[in-house]
Structure 1
Amino acid sequence: MNLPAANSRPLDGLIARLSALHPKQIDLGLDRMHRLLARLDHPERLSPPVIHVAGTNGKGSTIAYLRATLEAAGLRVHVYTSPYLVRINECFRIGETGGGRLADDAGLRRVLEHCEQVNAGEPITIFEMQTAAAFCLFAEHDADVVLLETGLGGRLDATNVVEQPIATVIAPISMDHMEFLGDTLASIAGEKAAIIKRGVPVICAEQAGEAMTVIETQAKRMRAPLHAAGQQWHVGVERGRLVYQDERGLMDLAAPKLFGRHQFDNAGLAIATLRAIEAFKIGMPAFEAGIVNAEWPARMQRLVTGTLVDHGPKGCEIWLDGGHNAEGGRVAAAALGDLEERVSRPLVVIAGMMANKDAGAFLANFAGLTRHIIAVPIPDRDSAMPPDRLADAGRALGMRVENAAGVEAALHALSRLVYEVPPRILITGSLYLAGHVLAINGTPPG
């Protein structure tokens, strides 16, 4: 399958027009959202019950497990996530009996243009407009639950207009987006913990002590029952299976299809969330199906077919991961370590990053696994990190770094090298790069 060129995608013109309504891509604050939602007659108050998810890493995977499990239980699930990889439609999933579907172009255009008309040209960010459109879309379609992912932070995030969710979820918190959220773990945790609502259960992944203290304080202040990993619930790996335990008992489940030890933790967070919501009665078969069947693209995703796969060295493995901060690099490197224990192969990392990321902290995770890094640009992203700067960060770690004009060129270069064992190739550093890879490979998210 070959995707159409970017400039021929049906919604691109509309997205460009909406993006021009505010001089900044990111401008945290809730005043514009409250103004627009009031003019729209508050669609966020008409949507099905909401599970609100914040965190630095693992939000999307946790939502994937939540959706797969809820759908396996026969429930209709709306989902709003960001950013998208290839098409904006990926952000909006409409729940239907027997599963869900991505919003189609016509429906998405209709709600976005309605929000545009009601906004009447006033300054508003594209993410705020998307979020308002999601509320409009979800209010139109009956469902049992909405899975709502924060975009950035929590306190001033456009999604934090939901007054009474049925649960708030906090995935692992680490250092990222410091220019918006603060330069300490405590300040970042404070921004994310601000989605906690009075009396609403909060389910929390295992956190660094500094972040956990902030979350516990906020939960106590809001009188929100806290279900924390390592305290009220536990998840682990035993003989390759997922073992979950809380006060209600023990669950022994098959391993997640999503690869990496961190996916057991994300799955555990989803299980704990659903067990904390009294309105849901999820049976063991639904948990089993949800954990095994959940899919989430560009998170240690093995590319086995497609245009790019044909460009690489014969017999190589190509993995794609959108990790872009130090913690994201750590879990990807740990997953590669697990692969190395199973089948040893030389590792090459093809990396492209955004300019506001800490390339040194990200690449340091791979220093013990490979000395071969290829730095590439991220197409059509003005704020991408120049490959020379990324290469300098790798060389400072003692790595052998070269530049390539793009992912395809990097794979071509590798295919001309002689390997005793075909290499394992990881393409990583940015979700924007991951989206570009999926598009040119012809394997878009569905």
Structure 2
Amino acid sequence: MTAAGSDVILQRMMALHPKVIDLTLDRVWRLLDALGNPQDRLPPVIHVAGTNGKGSTLAMIRAGIEGAGKTAHAYTSPHLVRFHERIRIAGTLISEPDLAALLDECYAANGGEAITYFEITTCAALLGFARHAADFTLLEVGLGGRLDATNVIARPALTIITPVSIDHQQFLGDTIGSIAAEKAGILKRGVPCVVGPQPDAALDVIEAAASRIGAPLLVHGQHWHVQEEHGRLVYQDETGLRDLPLPNLPGAHQLANAGAALAALRHAGLGDAALEAAVTQARWPARMQRLRHGTLADLAPDAEIWLDGGHNPAAGQVLADHLSTLPARPTHLVCGMLDTKDIGGYLRPLAARAASLTAVSIPGETATLPAAATAAAARDAGLLATTAGSVREAVASIAAQTPGARILICGSLYLAGHVLRDDG
């Protein structure tokens, strides 16, 4: 198989089965049945849903599992640079030959029937996981939970719901309660669920759903607690207290994500080595990632360049909170967003933390918000805003005007992926 093999197959899938969101499990069940139901032959599954933090939480759980000397399959989305990032087989990114073979097999088994891109690629991941040994399987929900393509595991070992907030209203509903109900769709009878910090309206829905089906809950603030004390992370549950380093993933919000990961690792029976590794060894690109090397760093050597893919109001708030903790330095945003997002809600918390915003369109994305529209929304939020033809042009302009600036590239994981691809 040539190096372009998987890319060719993915494009073929995209052409026949467009990258659309159509929430139902019927097509997934049909293809999985044709593949021999690989979802029934996986190592113990930890299934993670939530609006924000699910990827970071999963990354910390994986780091903890590996720190304990064990292995985990992992399925995440979306990818930033290459599709291969979505699938880790026993901890290792899937190889090109293995990915191409799995995609080809699923494409053939589907027999030309209607199916979405995410559904068929999820089936490919599950098929790959079923064919390789590992100690755990980590599945991140793509969208929602109840009707997400990953919600096909009859009895996972554990489920997790990270903080719920407003996002994807066109698919999940426009209230916290309706969105929480979709996330709670991953609950299974008799299967414990770790619940991260939630608005009251979300927690009420999750608790009611768990009560209906008999799913035990491990709720933040009730069954486990996490906080910062004297520059350390202090985690406590019914088994005792653990004093650990603060998470290596930046941002105060990562404390709660770490707490959920630690609760999961404790439930899985993994020891102190796992807990330490979870908070010190996790890697999750484009979540307040410092770009110290590459073409952008070379272009603005005196600047402090950061990259973040958060894209909803809750993400804007935690990003603003994190900026407030950094050493004083003029902060300038380079922002590109999709036209399906609440740009005003995202930018309002950031307006008090940034000196300006330079808007860009996201290259190659048909759903990108035009740069001019992003700039107009930024002005409405109280930001001094202009536009640029590219991220590189924006960074060069900011660096020329304010050589020691803090430059934060933000607004979309798709923009973040474009930056990482181009930045080397």
> Normalised by the size of structure 1, how large is the TM-score?
0.93
How far is 1:415 from its partner?
Answer: 2.3
Does residue 214 of the first structure (1) align with residue 209 of the second (2)? Answer: no
3-state SS of paired residue (1:63): helix
Match of 1:403 in 2: 387
Structure 1's unaligned 5+ residue stretches are: 1-7
- Counterpart among 28, 31, 42 of residue 33 in structure 1: 28
Alignment of 1:14-413 (within 5 A): 14-23=9-18, 25-95=20-90, 100-276=91-267, 280-312=268-300, 314-339=301-326, 343-413=327-397
How far is 1:398 from its partner?
Answer: 2.1
Q: Would you say the 8 A contact 1:19–1:25 is kept in 2?
A: no
How far is 1:264 from its partner?
Answer: 1.0
Identify if the C-alpha distance between structure 1 residues 364 and 152 changes in structure 2 by more than 3 Å, giving closer, same or farther: same
CA deviation vs aligned residue, 1:80-113 (integer Å, no higher than 9, x gap): 0000000000000011xxxx21001110010111
3-state SS of paired residue (2:194): strand
Q: Would you say the 8 A contact 2:5–2:100 is kept in 1?
A: no
d(CA) in 2 for partners of 1:55 and 1:83?
15
d(CA) in 1 for partners of 2:217 and 2:78?
28
CA deviation vs aligned residue, 1:155-211 (integer Å, no higher than 9, x gap): 110001111000010011100000000111100000010100000001100100000
CA deviation vs aligned residue, 1:384-422 (integer Å, no higher than 9, x gap): 111111111111122110000010000111122145xx1
What percentage of residue pairs aligned between the two structures are identical?
51
Match of 2:420 in 1: 438
How far is 1:370 from its partner?
Answer: 1.6
Query: Which is worse superposed, 134-143 or 22-31?
Result: 22-31
Letter in 1 for 2:190: G
CA deviation vs aligned residue, 1:29-76 (integer Å, no higher than 9, x gap): 000000001111101111111000000000000001100001111111
d(CA) in 1 for partners of 2:402 and 2:8?
45
Q: Would you say the 8 A contact 1:43–1:136 is kept in 2?
A: yes
Q: Would you say the 8 A contact 2:45–2:156 is kept in 1?
A: yes
d(CA) in 2 for partners of 1:259 and 1:80?
23
How far is 1:24 from its partner?
Answer: 5.4
How far is 1:291 from its partner?
Answer: 1.1
d(CA) in 1 for partners of 2:234 and 2:320?
23
How far is 1:117 from its partner?
Answer: 0.2
How far is 1:23 from its partner?
Answer: 4.6
CA deviation vs aligned residue, 1:250-306 (integer Å, no higher than 9, x gap): 000011111010111101000111223xxx321112211221111100000111011
d(CA) in 2 for partners of 1:63 and 1:347?
30
d(CA) in 2 for partners of 1:206 and 1:149?
18
Identify if the C-alpha distance between structure 1 residues 257 and 9 changes in structure 2 by more than 3 Å, giving closer, same or farther: farther
Q: Would you say the 8 A contact 2:64–2:273 is kept in 1?
A: no
Letter in 1 for 2:384: R
Q: Would you say the 8 A contact 2:258–2:278 is kept in 1?
A: no
Letter in 1 for 2:302: G
Letter in 1 for 2:35: L
Letter in 2 for 1:136: L
Q: Would you say the 8 A contact 2:6–2:103 is kept in 1?
A: no
Q: Would you say the 8 A contact 1:303–1:319 is kept in 2?
A: yes
3-state SS of paired residue (2:324): helix
Q: Would you say the 8 A contact 2:303–2:399 is kept in 1?
A: no
Identify if the C-alpha distance between structure 1 residues 40 and 437 changes in structure 2 by more than 3 Å, giving closer, same or farther: same
Structure 2's unaligned 5+ residue stretches are: none
d(CA) in 2 for partners of 1:142 and 1:416?
53
d(CA) in 1 for partners of 2:4 and 2:392?
22
d(CA) in 1 for partners of 2:135 and 2:18?
37
Q: Would you say the 8 A contact 1:234–1:268 is kept in 2?
A: yes
d(CA) in 2 for partners of 1:409 and 1:423?
15
Letter in 2 for 1:385: L
Letter in 2 for 1:407: V
Letter in 1 for 2:416: A
d(CA) in 2 for partners of 1:242 and 1:86?
32
How far is 1:22 from its partner?
Answer: 2.9
3-state SS of paired residue (1:338): coil
How far is 1:16 from its partner?
Answer: 1.3
d(CA) in 1 for partners of 2:357 and 2:40?
49
d(CA) in 2 for partners of 1:255 and 1:216?
29
Q: Would you say the 8 A contact 2:312–2:341 is kept in 1?
A: yes
3-state SS of paired residue (2:258): helix
d(CA) in 2 for partners of 1:115 and 1:398?
49
Q: Would you say the 8 A contact 1:371–1:398 is kept in 2?
A: no
- Counting matched residue pairs gives 422
d(CA) in 2 for partners of 1:360 and 1:9?
40
Letter in 2 for 1:292: T
d(CA) in 1 for partners of 2:175 and 2:87?
32
d(CA) in 2 for partners of 1:55 and 1:70?
21
How far is 1:125 from its partner?
Answer: 0.4
How far is 1:21 from its partner?
Answer: 2.5
